Structure 1
Amino acid sequence: MAPSSMARVSGRAGPEAPIDLVQLATNTLGNRDLEVQVLHLFKSQSSTTLERLACETDQAARLDLVHTLKGSARAIGAEKVADVCENLEGRMHSSSEAGTEGLIAAVDEANRYIRDLLEG
């Protein structure tokens, strides 16, 4: 995952990218192997979290899932996902009917970017 290859990912490696690669590098102390590991972990965890969120009926458990995903997103520089999680948390506190469509879209975008980054 050299910087030159990162810049080619879907033509998006700047502020508009779903993952801030500078933040990712900072959080992993520039360790490329660790970057790859945490990206794989996020991709897997975020997909599992969305599946669990779709089936979970307990509001406290749903909030925990969203909160955990928010922290994971911030750790890899997926600020859009983290911001959507934060917004969803607020809506979930006031309504048990808060929809997750925006979260699903943000996670899908981040995971496509990760896939392109790791396979590209």
Structure 2
Amino acid sequence: MNDTPVFAPPDSGSGLRSEERPVDLVFLARQTGGDRALEEEVLRLFSKQATVLGNELRSQQDEDARRRNAHTLKGAARAVGAFGIAECAVRIETEPDNPAPVTELLREVEAVRDYIESLLR
């Protein structure tokens, strides 16, 4: 199997190494078997899901609901290679009453959404 991602990173001159990108494209290519259409669909779905769950996490007061949504988002993020979001979600799972990880997660979701948009143009 080819380890080269199907998507070329936007603005290749940006100096971002693959481990600094919001989505690990090599990991995603492995997950999808290099199927570009599938990669695009997965990224679109993840972007929507991350936005919805992020907004729910911001507004939820119930710690159990926060843990459940953080757990769901963690799994989805790991599946597409958005490991920064997954790390934030782990912190929310372990500290559901702390607003700081939610704020960090929302920033990370925005960065990932912007990155995905740049890939899908």
1:23 to 20, 27, 39: 27
Does 2:102 correspond to 1:98? no
Once residues 79 and 51 of structure 1 are traced to their aligned partners in structure 2, the CA distance between those partners, rounded to angstroms, is 19
Give the 3-state SS of the residue equivalent to 2:34 in structure 1: coil
- Report 1:65-76 matches (<5 A): 65-76=69-80
Give the 3-state SS of the residue equivalent to 1:7 in structure 2: coil
Residues 4 and 64 (structure 1), Cα distance of their counterparts in 2 relative to 1, 3 Å cut? closer
Give the 3-state SS of the residue equivalent to 2:95 in structure 1: helix
Letter in 1 for 2:111: E
- Report 1:3-42 matches (<5 A): 6-9=8-11, 11=14, 12=16, 14-42=18-46
**8 Å Cα contact 2:78/2:86 also seen in 1:** yes
Residues 67 and 3 (structure 1), Cα distance of their counterparts in 2 relative to 1, 3 Å cut? closer
Residues 4 and 51 (structure 1), Cα distance of their counterparts in 2 relative to 1, 3 Å cut? closer
Residues 7 and 56 (structure 1), Cα distance of their counterparts in 2 relative to 1, 3 Å cut? closer
Q: Which residue of 1 aligns with 2:119?
A: 117
Give the 3-state SS of the residue equivalent to 1:57 in structure 2: coil
**8 Å Cα contact 1:81/1:107 also seen in 2:** yes
Residues 33 and 57 (structure 1), Cα distance of their counterparts in 2 relative to 1, 3 Å cut? same
Once residues 71 and 6 of structure 2 are traced to their aligned partners in structure 1, the CA distance between those partners, rounded to angstroms, is 33
RMSD of aligned Cα (Å): 2.0
Q: How many residues align?
A: 115
Q: Which residue of 1 aligns with 2:109?
A: 107
Shift of 1:55: 2.4
TM-score normalised by the chain length of structure 2 = 0.84
Greater RCO between the two (CA within 8 Å, min separation 6)?
A: 1
TM-score normalised by the chain length of structure 1 = 0.85
Gaps of 5+ in 1: none
Shift of 1:31: 1.0
Gaps of 5+ in 2: none
